[in-house]
């Protein structure tokens, strides 16, 4: 922060005292009055102000942390991928959190260029992820990923990026890794995953189904209490969903069957996937807004498109490109566009309702950036070629290391902006309450 000189309100005939002690006292008092309230407002520690141009490749307690300053008027999510020869910042050898099916280097992916790109917003720079700074900002706080396996993919990426500073310990209260919890003991920071592929109450109605990919019953107006009963304790909730809604589903509302998506059942109306997707997000956000004790910040991590080419996922489709698209080479359209629009529209509706209670919503808009990364998926490099397993080419999840690591760049920059934004929204909330009370 740039400090400007201040003039003391001296009278016409007053003299500034010459005493060095008095001058020092006055100068220190002014500095204290100007600087301390500003950083108290932001709720960031003062020692986060050092600003090396790049984060170091490893960290210890003496390492400098990058600046918290950022430009709020820059759209982080519109831009291009540019080369980053210094990446990656971890490997499958240094991080145990890499899921086997996303461990592309272990299973023989021959190219490495997909790991060597960074996102460049059109109007500013997006700093690379700094694990020491992230953990300091998260000191004494908690973060949970609510969603499906792509959400878990994001959490494992974050664990790997943080591994340069500290590894977490497993504090899960269940052996089911779909509900894993990790704690960074030096920072009293807890990270968790809550599995809910449809966001609402659902069950497997037929493990085979009409397309041999299962048939699910979705209760579109009922909360999935596996996650809704647990998030009140978290400071940050990152919610996401998408790819499971492409599967056959039967929709229920008020416990009555109202239609389906590609269920191929007699006398059942096909309402398409977007109907269920929109209703599921509406119910999920309604659950968050109904919680009495939830005071956290909710992030919607937007849909990350798949990149199957040459066929559908179960009909030989694959993703074999080795470089990102330029922004003028790919367009968000079709199903991906419909899904994106539906979730953002429901997000805006929930944000409006949440503001009435002082709740905060943020859009972690990864869609455009990930649309441009057909090269970042595991494809067939999620298992050994000779293994006797039934796995399709994976063009949904993301290799680790890989493009998904950029989601943590986005998240950290949003956290750095949060102090001022939360303060402004709090003032607006209190002002609105006063107006409504009149």
Active site residues: 149, 394, 397
User: CB–CB of 373/403 below 8 Å?
Assistant: yes
User: CB–CB of 56/129 below 8 Å?
Assistant: no
Measure the CA–CA gap between 152 and 231, rounded to whole angstroms.
Answer: 16
Q: Is 80 exposed, middle or buried (0-12, 13-18, 19+ CB in 10 A)?
A: middle
SS3 for 22? Answer: helix
The dihedral region occupied by 415, where left means phi > 0, alpha psi between -120 and 50, and beta the remainder, is alpha
Backbone angles phi, psi at 173, to 5 degrees: -100, 15
Measure the CA–CA gap between 89 and 55, rounded to whole angstroms.
Answer: 10
DSSP-derived pairing of the beta strands 189-195 and 142-147:
parallel
Measure the CA–CA gap between 324 and 330, rounded to whole angstroms.
Answer: 10
| 88 cis-preceded (ω within 30 degrees of 0) | yes
Backbone angles phi, psi at 152, to 5 degrees: -65, -35
The closest alpha carbon to 398, from 414, 383, 381, belongs to 381
Non-local (6+) Cβ contacts of 437 within 8 A are: none
């Amino acid at each position: 922060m740039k400090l400007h000189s201040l003039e003391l309100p001296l009278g016409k005939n007053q003299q500034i005292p010459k005493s060095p002690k008095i001058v020092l006292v006055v100068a220190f008092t002014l500095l204290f009055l100007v600087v301390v309230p500003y950083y108290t407002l932001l709720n960031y520690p003062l020692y986060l102000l050092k600003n090396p141009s790049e984060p170091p490749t490893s960290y210890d307690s003496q390492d400098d942390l990058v600046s918290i300053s950022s430009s709020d008027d820059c759209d982080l999510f519109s831009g291009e991928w540019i080369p980053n020869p210094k990446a990656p910042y971890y490997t499958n050898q240094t991080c145990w959190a890499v899921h086997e099916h996303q461990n592309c280097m272990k299973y023989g992916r021959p190219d490495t260029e997909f790991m060597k790109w960074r996102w460049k917003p059109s109007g500013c720079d997006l700093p690379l992820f700094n694990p020491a700074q992230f953990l300091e900002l998260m000191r004494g706080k908690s973060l949970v990923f609510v969603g499906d396996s792509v959400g878990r993919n994001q959490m494992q990426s974050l664990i790997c990026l943080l591994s340069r500073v500290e590894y977490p310990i497993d504090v899960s209260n269940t052996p089911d890794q779909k509900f894993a919890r990790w704690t960074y003991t030096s920072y009293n920071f807890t990270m968790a995953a809550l599995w809910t592929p449809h966001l609402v109450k659902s069950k497997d109605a037929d493990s085979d189904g009409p397309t041999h990919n299962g048939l699910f019953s979705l209760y579109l107006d009922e909360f999935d209490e596996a996650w809704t009963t647990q998030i009140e304790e978290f400071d940050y909730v990152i919610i996401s969903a998408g790819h499971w809604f492409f599967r056959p589903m039967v929709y229920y509302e008020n416990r009555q069957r109202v239609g389906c998506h590609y269920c191929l059942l007699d006398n059942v109306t096909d309402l398409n996937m977007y109907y269920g997707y929109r209703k599921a997000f509406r119910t999920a956000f309604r659950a968050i807004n109904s919680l009495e004790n939830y005071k956290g910040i909710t992030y919607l991590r937007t849909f990350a498109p798949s990149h199957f080419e040459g066929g559908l996922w179960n009909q030989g489709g694959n993703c074999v490109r080795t470089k990102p698209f330029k922004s003028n080479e790919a367009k968000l359209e079709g199903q991906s566009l419909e899904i994106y629009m539906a979730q953002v529209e429901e997000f805006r509706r929930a944000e409006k309702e949440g503001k009435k209670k002082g709740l905060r919503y943020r859009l972690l808009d990864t869609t455009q950036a990930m649309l441009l990364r057909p090269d970042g998926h595991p494809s067939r490099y999620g298992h050994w070629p000779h293994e006797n397993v039934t796995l399709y080419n994976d063009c949904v999840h993301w290799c680790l290391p890989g493009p998904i690591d950029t989601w943590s760049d986005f998240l950290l920059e949003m956290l750095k902006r949060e102090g001022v934004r939360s303060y402004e929204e709090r003032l607006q909330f209190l002002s609105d309450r006063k107006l409504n009370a009149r």
